Amino acid sequence: MYTTVNEQGILNNYSTEPKVYYAQYPNQYQQRQYALQAAFATLLISTLVLVGFAVS
């Protein structure tokens, strides 16, 4: 951690910056998992909306 002190004695801390890297394109398995997750999320949200309409 990088720390400086100004004339009044106040500390100023700087965090270390993480190394920058480029994201990798997801492989076939990861794409399939993302699609399955999206399907479950869509099912959950649509069920909640339908239940909300049915209750009101």
Any domain includes 55:
yes
Any domain includes 15:
no
Any domain includes 3:
no
> Residue 13 in contact with residue 3, Cβ under 8 Å?
yes
Q: Each residue of 12-31: b (16+ CB within 10 Å) or e?
A: eeeeeeeeeeeeeeeeeeee
Any domain includes 12:
no
Rounded distance between C-alpha atoms, residue 55 and residue 47, angstroms: 12
- Convert the pLDDT of each residue in 11-52 to its tens digit: 887 777 889 999 999 999 999 999 999 999 999 999 999 999
Which has more confidence, 26 or 10?
Answer: 26
Any domain includes 10:
no
Any domain includes 48:
yes
Output the pLDDT for position 6.
Answer: 79
Q: Which domain holds residue 36?
A: 25-56
Any domain includes 20:
no
Any domain includes 31:
yes
Output the pLDDT for position 43.
Answer: 98
| Confidence class for position 10, pLDDT limits 50, 70, 90 | confident
- Which alpha helices (H) appear in the chain, and where do they start and end? 28-55
Structure tokens at 45: 């949200």
How many structural domains is the chain composed of?
1
Q: Name the pTM for this structure.
A: 0.58
